[in-house]
Amino acid sequence: MPEAGSTSSGPAGRKSFGSRLGAAMASRGPLCVGIDPHPALLKEWGLADDAAGLRRFSMTVLEAVSSLAAAVKPQVALYERHGSAGMAVLEEVLVAAAQAQVLTIADAKRGDIGSTMAAYADAWLRDGSSLAADSVTLSPYLGFESLRPALDLAADNGRGVFVLALTSNPEGASVQHVGGADSVARRIVEAAAAENGRYAGSLGSVGLVVGATVGSALTDLHLDLPSVRGPILAPGLGAQGATPADLRRTFGAAYPQVLGTSSRDILAAGPGTQGLRNAALRTLVGLIGE
């Protein structure tokens, strides 16, 4: 593990992911746009549910929002369902996002143990991998320490991770809320806070995924998100019911760490780039306003 306070720059002198994301949030605002090529959305856009439709959809979204969003979040499963052709499109999206200078969060939710976890880390976080993103989402439910290969490779390469901590889906409570004051979610939050001790600056590179619609669960479970000193990816803006005002109420003192995430609410404004841009801008103004 790098020394405490290390910026953990990558092999080419890349700054830590937390430093880069913090700078992007400060200059552009705290918006993440999901790139989710659902079959229904492809149909609404007049696109075929195939690799060509994926490519057109993804590149249109990227063109529209790359100058507004601090990050974009391609939903890996919606590319994976098209097999190797879909994954090839995802590789193109990651390259195009890097060229557009917008950070990427590969929403893959990977989690496993030992050499298998190391292989996932190698795919999403190794320099030179065709799937390398700036960060990747991870599932810690085989134990937080099972994520060690990804945590260390991300630090070594100036990349980041977002660990599922408190999700909005009703089923999540059956695992994440267990333990009450010493809940599973609280242990994940505390482990992420400890992991961010290796990073200097205001924002570490180990983020958390906390749903925008979790309501009072943060206080009910006594989760200290400001202590994490990492970014909080908060999906659920717009179509899932949360507003920017809800995010302020829910996250309180941790709101400066929050990366508000909207997918369907923005994507429904396509297929024109101007409609997508306008929808993203409205969401962004809400996040930075008041």
Residues near 176 by Cβ (< 8 Å), separated by ≥ 6?
A: 165, 166, 167, 183, 184, 185, 188
Sign of CA dihedral 1, 120, 184, 168: positive
Report which of 262, 271, 213 is spatially closest to residue 239, judged by C-alpha positions.
Answer: 262
Residue carrying the six token digits 């993103």 = 133
Rounded to the nearest 5 degrees, what angle is found at the Cα of 282, between the Cα atoms of 281 and 287? 95
- Catalytic residue list contains 109: yes
Query: Which two structure tokens, joined as six digits, stand for 286?
Result: 């809400």
- Nearest-angstrom CA–CA distance, 263 and 118: 30
- Nearest-angstrom CA–CA distance, 126 and 109: 17
Rounded to the nearest 5 degrees, what angle is found at the Cα of 56, between the Cα atoms of 51 and 58? 90
What's the Cα-to-Cα distance from 16 to each of 21, 135, 203, rounded to whole Å?
A: 9, 11, 9
Report which of 103, 73, 71, 102 is spatially closest to residue 90, judged by C-alpha positions.
Answer: 73
Residue carrying the six token digits 């490519």 = 55
- Cβ 130 vs Cβ 106: under 8 Å: no
Residue carrying the six token digits 């992420």 = 192
Catalytic residue among 15, 43, 73, 109: 109
- Cβ 7 vs Cβ 46: under 8 Å: no
- Cβ 118 vs Cβ 125: under 8 Å: no
279: enclosing H helix or E strand = helix 273-288
Would you please indicate which residues are annotated as catalytic (active-site) residues?
109
